[in-house]
Amino acid sequence: MRVIFNEELGLVADDLDRMALSVRDAIKKAGRSMLKCDVETAQEVIDGDADIDRLHASIIDQCIRLLAKQSPVATDLRVVVSTLSLSATFERMGDLARHIAETARRSYPDPTLPEEVVPLFQQMQEFLDVLADRLVDMLSDRDTTIAERIIINDDKMDKLHQKTFEYALSDDWRGSRQQLIDMVLVARFMERLGDHGVSAARRVVYIVSGFDPSKDPRDLDSDLD
Amino acid sequence: MRVIFNEELGLVADDLDRMALSVRDAIKKAGRSMLKCDVETAQEVIDGDADIDRLHASIIDQCIRLLAKQSPVATDLRVVVSTLSLSATFERMGDLARHIAETARRSYPDPTLPEEVVPLFQQMQEFLDVLADRLVDMLSDRDTTIAERIIINDDKMDKLHQKTFEYALSDDWRGSRQQLIDMVLVARFMERLGDHGVSAARRVVYIVSGFDPSKDPRDLDSDLD
């Protein structure tokens, strides 16, 4: 069910879809550049972030124009306000992908991560690749089933993130201090990408159902963990 | 110059001021708890974050009601849209303060940071204390002079943040791996608090002047560094 109210809102929705596609590519390429020491791909992600920022600025302008000219109410209003929020989330996800790519570029030609920890980060990246695909599908179809799957799956990323710390503190750690710093930051960027994915999924549930799962009291509790 | 258009908008503005005050306290207490190994204060920040989240949820509801009922245009619309964005920024700043407090609580009774690096983090915290005060003043007065000062001063934090890496990689480093992990993360949280402060300042410039300094082309360039 695609919720389009009029031509102008349809154009913003197209831009938001375009943004999701760009962010998906940035996430996949950033992970690959870091895991494969591929500096050209890293540079592509870094250069491409400006396009994501421009799309974000254009979406804000379009939403404000829509609010001023059409004074939407009910579902239409929910869509416009949620579009502002989704666009901000995607912009931030683009930044995080860029940060990962920047780390890959800085460490090049050395690998960003010590060899032993690469399989763990590959698992994290596989999680993010699936998330990135789901975000695109969820958005173009306003599909709450996909959104709910994203929300439920989030603790997998948290567990993988936790493992990076356990590894860094174990006797098996062989990396340099620079690698420890990079690993901690990249793991954080990846975990934040997962969080933002969940936040985007909640937004889509809110658009479609009018219920905001971020206000679920259980959820507020878990946020305090 | 305080821009209040009607009673209802005044109530949201009051809530946003309240949020800024809570975030200011959280930032100051989080830094103190970490630098002084004060676990009670850390716990206060952690517990208090739920109030900030509730204020955020209430501000979103109020803004959506305002948009639906009053269909604001021009400056009124800018204020409502910016209030949504400022509230999201403050909510995130509350989270970051909580993360710092959680790190202090986890390391307690050991100090979070090795002794040698404490003066550097004290400088970062002094920067954030001033920023937190300025955010409150800027917001209650819609004062673009303060906002511009926040925007200009941001590179001080970036330089201090850079120094934490230099120190961690130098021969002077004596800390444990756990301390290195905590230091890298806390420095990142503090740097992000600075970034969010700048983003809030830009929002206030936008409310007052209608010009969005985040779209300054020079700024887009510096974001690519």
Q: What is the pLDDT along chain B (225 residues), one digit of tens a residue?
A: 344 457 888 899 999 999 999 999 999 999 999 999 999 999 999 999 999 999 999 999 999 999 999 889 888 899 999 999 999 999 999 999 999 999 999 999 999 999 999 999 999 999 999 999 999 999 988 889 999 999 999 899 999 999 999 999 999 999 999 999 999 999 999 999 999 999 999 999 988 887 665 554 334 333 322
Distance from CA of B181 to the nearest CA of A (A): 7
Closest CA to B184 of A170, A172, A111, A186: A186
User: Residue A214's pLDDT is what?
Assistant: 58
Q: Which residues of chain A are within 8 Å of residue B85 when distances are taken between CB atoms? A: 84, 88
Dist CA B19 CA B25 (whole Å) = 10
Chain B partners within 8 Å of A223 (Cβ): 49-50, 53
Residues of A in contact with B225 (CB under 8 A): none
Q: Cβ contact (<8 Å) for B68 and A73?
A: yes
List, for residues A94-104, the tens digit of each pLDDT value. Answer: 999 999 999 99
Kindly report, residue by residue over A102-117, the tens digit of the pLDDT.
999 999 999 999 999 9
Chain B CB contacts of A81 below 8 Å: 63-64, 67, 84
Q: Judge residue A55's burial from the number of C-beta atoms within 10 Å of its C-beta, 0-12 exposed, 13-18 middle, 19 or more buried.
A: buried
Q: Which of B112, B114, B116, B86 is nearest to B189 (CA)?
A: B112
Q: Which of B48, B91, B24 lies closest to A215 in space, CA to CA?
A: B91
User: What chain B residue is nearest to A173 in terms of C-alpha separation?
Assistant: B177
User: What number does CATH give the domain A7-219?
Assistant: 1.20.58.220
**Alpha-carbon radius of gyration of chain B:** 19
Q: Do B181 and A188 touch (CB under 8 A)?
A: no
- Comparison of pLDDT for A183 and B5, the residue scoring more: A183
Taking residue B48's Cβ as centre, other Cβ atoms within 10 Å add up to 20
Cα separation of the two ends of chain B: 36
Q: Which CATH architecture has domain B7-223?
A: Up-down Bundle (1.20)
Domain boundaries, chain A: 7-219
Could you tell me which residues of chain B have a Cβ less than 8 Å from any Cβ in chain A?
46-47, 49-50, 53, 57, 63-64, 67-68, 71, 73-74, 77-78, 81, 84-85, 88, 165, 168-169, 173, 177-178, 180-181, 184-185, 188, 212, 214-215, 220, 223-224
Closest chain B residue to A66, measured at CA:
B73
How much is the average pLDDT of A115-131?
A: 97
CA gap B219, B154 in Å, rounded: 12
